[in-house]
Amino acid sequence: MTKLLVFGATGLVGQSLISELSNSDVEVLAVSRRPILNIPINIKVLEVDLEVFIQKHKFPECDHVFICLGTTIKKAGSQKEFKKVDFNYCVEIAKKAKDSGVKRISLVSSIGATPTANNFYLKTKGETEEAIKEIEFSSTNIYRPSLLIGQRKDPRLMEGLGQQFAGLVDPFLWGSMKKFRSIAACKLARAMKQNINSADGVNYFYFEDFLDL
């Protein structure tokens, strides 16, 4: 049976992903820093501090690792703490996975991510992508959604306003701008599930890859 490991299982995407995976013939271990409420009965949970996990825990045997970690500068408290979660943790988990023999990895990034961005958020996301690509898994899936639509357990004010605004703007985004449309987190999760066994190499996924799922 295929074994999957999900980091960030309490976040908007992570929650949607474990819900999708719970309906599949796979074995799922959700790694979380806090308890997961209403967890599907066939999903196992490893509750652990990520720094402790990275430094001391043996990496669980698995076939594919999903990294759905992410925070905001406001929640983290500073750019330094933000980067610890969105770059350091993600990259260190990827390195640990590679060292344990994992062949496939999926990363939730962002549209516009690039190491040369002037925006700190997009720059960090871009640096994370590049660092994980350099680890050279057999298959690396990088998901680049725009604004995610869904109900978080810890609401973000600006994101909530953005979701309302997106409903007005999305219909006007066509052609090369279509990839900037907002997307429901559940559709992103379905795409991640569908691409568990995607082609080798580095694979990027955008708005249109999340549709009709």
Indicate the pTM of the whole model.
0.89
Residue 207: per-residue pLDDT: 86
Q: What is the CATH number of the domain that holds 63?
A: 3.40.50.720
**HEC secondary structure over the chain:** CEEEEEECCCCHHHHHHHHHHCCCCEEEEEEECCCCCCCCCCEEEEECCHHHHHHHCCCCCCCEEEECCCCCHHHHCCHHHHHHHHHHHHHHHHHHHHHCCCCEEEEECCCCCCCCCCCHHHHHHHHHHHHHHHHCCCEEEEECCCCEECCCCCCCHHHHHHHHHHHHHHHHCCHHHHHHCCEEHHHHHHHHHHCCCCCCEEEEECHHHHCCC
How far apart CA 15 and CA 189 sit, in angstroms, is 9
The parent domain of residue 145 ranges over 2-208
Count up the domains in the chain and report the number. Answer: 1
Residue 1: per-residue pLDDT: 74
Residue 71: per-residue pLDDT: 87
In a domain, 213, yes or no: no
In a domain, 72, yes or no: yes
Residue 151: per-residue pLDDT: 67
Per-residue pLDDT in tens (0 to 9) along the chain, 213 residues: 799 999 999 999 999 999 999 988 899 999 988 888 888 888 999 999 999 999 988 999 999 999 999 888 888 889 999 999 999 999 999 999 999 999 999 999 999 999 999 999 999 999 999 999 999 999 999 999 998 887 655 555 454 444 554 554 555 556 666 676 778 899 999 999 999 999 999 999 998 888 765
In a domain, 81, yes or no: yes
In a domain, 41, yes or no: yes
Residue 50: per-residue pLDDT: 92
In a domain, 48, yes or no: yes
